[in-house]
Chains A and B, each alone.
Chain A
């Protein structure tokens, strides 16, 4: 049993903290209304720091770290609300590492780790009941190449990505394609969303994709998607944990300072007990996230644990942010205060890669129901 961080992790944590404090203060606000939605200069810097290679082998320029390292790193990003395509790029890169052919790995991973390639998963088809698909879904083949048409939604930062991970149903079943964003027929439109994280509508209009761009085995696409969603769910859980730790910190600072009725509001039990509940909630989300990351690092079965973490973190995100707003009173509702940024971003993270209900259903299945 060991709940301490390794020496490497302690160094990683403190350097990450320092970096984000220096570079990311106010960044979310600055960036939110820009076209890109992230800072290309900082992207280069985090590549230099090795963040993009945490989970990748040294042969591609990575640092061979573990999922626990990654989770600690993402928690710090969450605290700072560090915006950008880190999670989508990482889970796409991991999919290439796990399922890709040697040539795909060599082509993409080193440049991704250097910060030269951004990747985005385009996996969600529009809800058919809404019937608003812009482009009719179609997959055909010509001379062994695929011609893909269709619309995908909520592809994070697809508009600034270099490669898209696109899923489509072929005659042999679901397939995953690695597609260059500059291919003729691809267009990406960022959607204005609550968390400002540039979820895109991606349209494929008869895009020609060579057979060699298929990722993994044709027909095994569902497995790849499920795996990417697991990594994504774990990463979002960590981002949520970080955000919520910051929300609690801000709320405590406010409660220790703000006076009403001649007393610090933090001396009122109504406030104290809510803070205790927030701390409890966050602690639960954090230990579940750490256990899941540790299991994944150790190659132990972790599907259930990841869903436990994301289920709890998703609901905690809502509960804790809501309390954070209430403790701040009117200030918490004002546009000027950072509290509302966390409140908005928490909703986006709650929904990303499955909300609480979705992950509880996975847990139920894992329990044999």
Chain B
């Protein structure tokens, strides 16, 4: 048992940290842009390209596709630092679409997409959810008809977050009406500029933009299909598997800010607040340990099956508890928004409290994660 990074890993971590410190100006502009909820603007693209230029967006990929052929622990280390400095810890291309292209894509797709993904030049919007298909993703209805020399796509998507700035849609669509439903789904890479696609905004309570995406007789070339037809659902699950690493470095950073606040304001003398702060510290530490363990499992080619579900559950619920407790610590001042002289820490937590809801719902809700733990991890019978 050893809870330390190896000396080489420590050295690498230092290198990554130094990079972010040196790029402080660029980093803080990108973070501010990202925290506005609008997604990537010029500042985010700028820093992502700098990170990509180092090979750090896809460090585990082969060198010819812009990676560094490093092990997973290095990816974890980069993600920790990215989250700490930027709140962005990966891109959809690097974390989900890319790995599927790498293992199932055609040679043309690899040549076209992998390098730009690794260099931070392009981004994908995840095109899974629909009005009738959320947790039950296999129920998705958007149709992709095989018209011989192209696919014709009709239907709509809901909550496809990056669609307003990503170049490509990572689209799950129905290519066949089958029973069970998941056997008739295929994956496509669609250029979001293709005629017939309309994107309209949906705003969350955290003032983050997500989108509805409408497909009206959209003609997509045959080469847009990823892997085999009707195998899309398997790839979707596989892609989720690639995105199992999480980190708590953003929560740790904000926790330190709250801790300082509590010290400075003298609230740290209140026994109730002492208990709350200590409890947060413990919860965050337990989440960090699980994140490390999952990264270590991936690093050692062990499959974190239900552990990854646990991690998703624990990190999102810990974040929720953290922002909620911060609000409690501020008392009535906590409700005051940015801009007022009475707002605490510039109203950051008033906003974070609203924004924290997203992670409870996306990437599988807490209940879905508990289903996964119970059935896959604990072997309980499916209902």
Q: Which residues of A contact B (CB under 8 A)?
A: 1-6, 9, 68, 248, 252, 255-256, 263-264, 266-269, 271-273, 275-277, 279-280, 283-284, 287-288, 290-291, 294-295, 305, 308, 311-312, 357, 360-364, 367-369
Other-chain residue from A275, A279, A367 in contact with B277 (beta carbon distance below 8 A)? A367
Given contacts A267-B383, A288-B285, contact A276 B277 (CB under 8 A): no
Cβ-based interface call for B279 (8 A): yes
- How extensive is the interface on chain B, given as a class? 35 or more
The interface residues of chain A lying within 8 Å CB-to-CB of B279 are 311, 360
Residues of chain B with a CB closer than 8 A to A308's CB: 281-282, 285-286
Contact present for B1 and A361 (CB under 8 Å) = no
A276-B373, A288-B289, A361-B274 as given contacts; A311 in contact with B282, CB under 8 Å: yes
Shortest Cβ-Cβ A-B pairs, 8 listed: A272-B374, A360-B278, A363-B278, A364-B274, A284-B286, A276-B370, A276-B373, A369-B268
Taken together as a complex, chains A and B put the C-alpha atoms of A279 and B307 apart, in Å, by 10
Give chain B interface residues in 311-326, CB to chain A under 8 Å: 313-314
Pick the contact of A256: B6, B274, B290, B381 (CB < 8 A). Answer: B381
Contact of B1 among A264, A280, A290, A368 (CB under 8 A): A290
Which residues of chain B have a CB within 8 Å of any CB of chain A? 1-6, 9, 73, 259, 262-263, 268-269, 271, 274-275, 277-279, 281-283, 285-286, 289-290, 292-293, 295-297, 299, 310, 313-314, 367, 369-371, 373-375, 377-383
In the assembled complex, which residues on chain B have CB atoms less than 8 Å from the CB atom of A361? 271, 274-275, 278
A364 with B278, Cβ < 8 A, contacts A280-B314, A312-B286 known: yes
The answer to whether A287 touches B380, judged by C-beta atoms less than 8 angstroms apart, is no
In this complex, what residue of B is CB-closest to A293? B1
Of chain B, the residue at the smallest CB distance from A309 is: B282
Flag if B286 contacts A364 (CB, 8 Å).
no
Assess the B299–A276 pair: CB atoms within 8 A: no
**Measured between alpha carbons, how far is A124 from B69 in the docked complex, in Å?**
58
- 19 residue pairs of the A-B complex, CB under 8 angstroms, read A1-B9, A1-B295, A1-B299, A3-B1, A248-B378, A269-B367, A269-B371, A275-B378, A279-B310, A284-B314, A308-B286, A360-B278, A360-B279, A361-B271, A363-B278, A364-B268, A364-B274, A367-B259, A367-B277
Considering the complex, give the chain A residue whose CB is closest to the CB of B268. Answer: A369
> For B1, what are the chain A residues with a Cβ–Cβ distance below 8 Å?
2-6, 9, 68, 290, 294
**When the two chains form their complex, are residues A368 and B285 in contact, meaning their CB atoms are under 8 A apart?**
no
Q: Which of B269, B281, B295 makes the CB contact (< 8 A) with A363?
A: B281
